[in-house]
Chains A and B, each alone.
Chain A
């Protein structure tokens, strides 16, 4: 491996800029780090170059641990967005800078310089000053300069940022050619997805300091695992859908029928589906559709953008429209974005205001367990005020999901001593994560919600802050998978560090169980990393679970606890004091322990056959 990052973390003035990033880049690979500005990608690049230190983690280049090696000892070449050429030196002097520092003989320097100038197609420019060159030429000089000392790794920080489109494309090609010719491991940082697609062997996508996903460009585009990647990499319509034994439905009719037998056992639950604008088909009537039918709509605005036509189609069915997730333009009528090729435009010309039938050629279901939030409260008023809680609205906005409101009079009844609440009707099962206000008696409410089919319950104190640290704990190993999946989904949207807290009872058997406890920690960490791609710290504590967790939570403000349980009775038995009116947000993840109710979350591959 040329570049190996192991749990690299960088904090700056209290906020975590780079959060537990682990990454392996192979020899000769062209890796592109893609992310919006402020996602920590440039900081990560500077950390690899040695221009900024890291607070935690290790950086290795070609197997050599360079975490504490200064920039000049790392043997990397770095190219900056603003070229950073030495303006008082000629092109030749700029390129030879690294060779002069190394006291190379003049003749050898000249030979190397000519070689590099040929490589970047700037022969004969030796005596020019940077000010006499165009932007594209200056950046070529910068590339040549960064390669002069034959670095093992080439780092490029938004190298095309200051150039216009035409030059950008040309320079992009040059850099790709140079990289291929030298076979040098290259890491490029950019916010431009087109650039990433054009150059990368592999792309890693960063947001809020975390490396969310990485993979081949086509894989990432076709099968994103997170909402962020789905919407950041190309355009995407996100829709909430119901996955059940009948298939995947947006409205009442299933769009997709299950292919495999195993899906027959699926309990109805909510999922997030990705509809790429180019995978939506528009037709005059349902019969004319060549693919699975979704709904009817009206063409809104039409934009011409060269090869493609971009349309917004408003949906007739309001109930279905409510399932379209948009983080922006809240007040507007729900619409789907559609793009059509020239050919499609000729076959079925459209004008604004026209009614159309929508179908979908291909869709992708995100494997994320947190689909949406449903606020549950005994009265409309309380529910509305809880739905406006800042942490909840912030979370929903970042997750690009919605907050639904459900009035449940049952939640208002005063809790009798251990008396269960009356069960609700089976017909109105809860979708998404249930959210309730923190209050005394919350334990009973949680039990009731879990009975109603909720898989996650978020207990939210009024003054809850955005968490800086997420504590993760599960009662037994059977809920590990579900708890980790929910935690991963949550952690992608908050800038917090993750800590798994393992707890062993402090009794006579402690010494015998200690190795098992350690193994559980390692298993948890490796599963988080391998399956969800996030890193977490682990802690082993001894004592009674509820008390230990409370003590850990009392350490510092702005923490959130994710608690995995397999038996609702455990809540009242063990965690009543923790659940009743906590001072911090508490997310309970429930996965029934018994085998008959085991549910598999179907992978995207199971859903590919369309109805």
Chain B
């Protein structure tokens, strides 16, 4: 099969050529070209300079915080997003619609607003922060604060991905498992979780990707101490403010590569799992 033939698949839907053309155009103009520019700009640096910027202790600390906190936040969302989605799908309670609408708030709010709000609440004299301080836990201006902000930002991704998947889990399956002697926990572990696992992975991926790129809400609550609470996007902005465009591009490239590797890995796990679940005809 030649390349040309491969693009000439007979299809019930007309207009494949047109839509494919648009797809490639938009992907190129909006995603691929800017990314290429980033690579070119970073590539125009001397290797030594590049390594100095990218490998500096400050940068390494920022990577660790960015990816670590994002991973942790997505993990927290995996658990609590599941609980929220579960209660929204499965139970009827007063103001359920209201709670359902609140889930989307982090989507709509300018991230800076969320950041300010979180800082107000979690600062040492804030509503929650003052009690946490008594227990010796400081949230604002530490990595914990960063994680809290990223959890908030990622939560709707998790809940909205899981909701339809959970709604699709047939009650009959649970009923069947129950008549076969399974307890609630066993049903959750062996029936419900495996069924919604793909959706959970997708939600995790989305929440993680969003958290890695998050900037606005974090910079208020993080305190931005170099090496400690400084995230990579902020470090890039600092480089930009010093007119060090190449340095910023270099850091951006590193984030790009690392994000790509993480997302690709998750997607591979995902499709491996799908192959196991959905049968291919023999």
Contact = CB atoms under 8 A, between A and B. Distances in A.
Nearest to A78: B179
B279 A78 contact: no
Contact of A72 (B173, B178, B277, B282): B178
Contacts of A128: 279
Given A84-B172, A86-B191, A101-B186, A71 B179 contact: yes
Contact of B278 (A71, A80, A131, A145): A131
A71 B179 CA distance: 5
B179 A72 contact: yes
Instruction: Report the contact-size class of chain A (Cβ under 8 Å from the partner).
Output: 20 to 34
A131 B194 CA distance: 16
Contacts of B180: 72, 77, 97-98, 101, 145-146, 148-149
Given A131-B278, A132-B279, A132-B282, A84 B173 contact: yes
A3 B53 CA distance: 78
Given A86-B191, A132-B279, A97 B177 contact: yes
Contacts of B202: none
Interface string B76-91: 0000000000000000
A97 B182 contact: yes
B170 A82 contact: yes
Interface in B266-282: 277-279, 281-282
A573 interface: no
B138 interface: no
A129 interface: yes
A51 B176 CA distance: 9
B17 interface: no
A16 to B, nearest CB: 22
A95 B79 CA distance: 30
Nearest to B178: A71
Contacts, number: 72
A87 interface: yes
Interface in A106-131: 128-129, 131
B175 interface: yes
Interface string B150-186: 0000000000000000000010110111111111001
A84 B281 contact: no
B142 interface: no
A50 interface: yes
Contact of A84 (B175, B182, B282): B175
Interface core residue of B178, B183, B278 (most chain A CB under 10 Å): B178
Given A72-B183, A132-B279, A132-B282, A87 B176 contact: no
A84 B195 CA distance: 13
Contacts of A86: 173, 176-177, 190-191
A565 interface: no
Contacts of B172: 80, 82, 84
Given A71-B175, A78-B175, A87 B277 contact: yes
Contacts of A101: 180-182, 186
Contacts of A49: 175, 179
Interface string B208-242: 00000000000000000000000000000000000
A82 B182 CA distance: 20
Interface in A253-304: none
Contacts of A105: none
B179 A87 contact: no
B67 to A, nearest CB: 31
Contact of B194 (A71, A74, A88): A88
Contact of A51 (B178, B279, B282): B178
A80 B181 contact: no
Contacts of B175: 46, 49, 51, 71, 78, 80, 84
Contacts of A74: 179
A586 interface: no
A102 interface: yes
A87 B281 contact: no
A76 B175 CA distance: 12
Interface in A38-90: 46, 49-51, 70-72, 74, 76-78, 80, 82, 84, 86-88
A131 B181 contact: no
A155 to B, nearest CB: 8
Contacts of B191: 86
Interface string A89-101: 0000000011001
A102 B181 contact: yes
A68 to B, nearest CB: 15
Contacts of A146: 179-180
Contacts of A148: 180
Contacts of A102: 181
Nearest to A129: B279
Contact of A87 (B178, B182, B186, B195): B195
Nearest to B186: A101
Interface in A416-440: none
Given A84-B170, A129-B279, A131-B279, A51 B186 contact: no
Contacts of B177: 86, 97
Interface of B: 170, 172-173, 175-183, 186, 190-191, 194-195, 277-279, 281-282
Interface of A: 46, 49-51, 70-72, 74, 76-78, 80, 82, 84, 86-88, 97-98, 101-102, 128-129, 131-132, 142, 145-146, 148-149
Given A84-B175, A101-B181, A102-B181, 20 more contacts: A71-B178, A71-B179, A72-B179, A72-B182, A77-B179, A86-B177, A86-B190, A86-B191, A87-B195, A88-B277, A97-B177, A97-B180, A97-B182, A129-B277, A132-B279, A132-B281, A132-B282, A146-B180, A148-B180, A149-B180
25 contacts: A49-B179, A51-B178, A71-B175, A72-B178, A78-B176, A80-B172, A80-B175, A82-B170, A84-B173, A86-B176, A86-B177, A86-B190, A88-B194, A88-B277, A97-B177, A97-B180, A101-B181, A129-B277, A129-B279, A131-B279, A132-B279, A142-B176, A145-B176, A146-B179, A146-B180
